[in-house]
Amino acid sequence: MLKDNYLNMEEIAKNKSLARDETEDTLEVTVGTTPFEDLDAEVKLALKCASEKKAVDIIGLDLRDITSFAEFFLIASGTNKRQVQAIADEISQKLRKDLKTKPNRIEGYQGAEWVLLDYGDFIFHIFNKKSRTFYDLERLWRDAKRVKLPKDM
Q: What is the pLDDT of residues 42-82, one digit of tens each?
A: 999 999 999 999 999 999 999 999 999 999 999 999 999 99
- Residue 78: give the domain boundaries: 32-148
* CATH number, domain containing residue 93: 3.30.460.10
What is the pLDDT confidence band of residue 152, given thresholds at 50, 70 and 90?
A: confident
Domain annotation covers residue 72:
yes
Query: 29-66 in b/e burial notation, b at 16+ Cβ within 10 A?
Result: eeeeebebeebeebbbbbbbbbbebebeebbbbbbeee
**Per-residue pLDDT tens digits for 108-146:** 999 999 999 999 999 999 999 999 999 999 999 999 999
Looking at the domain assignment, is residue 81 inside a domain? yes
Q: 3-state DSSP call for residue 64? A: coil
Q: What is the dihedral of CA 103, 105, 111, 115, to 10 degrees?
A: -60
Residue 13 forms part of a structural domain: no
* Cα within 13 Å of Cα(58), Cβ side: 24
Q: Does some domain include residue 143? A: yes
Domain count of the chain?
Answer: 1
Instruction: Tell me, yes or no, whether 127 lies in a domain.
Output: yes
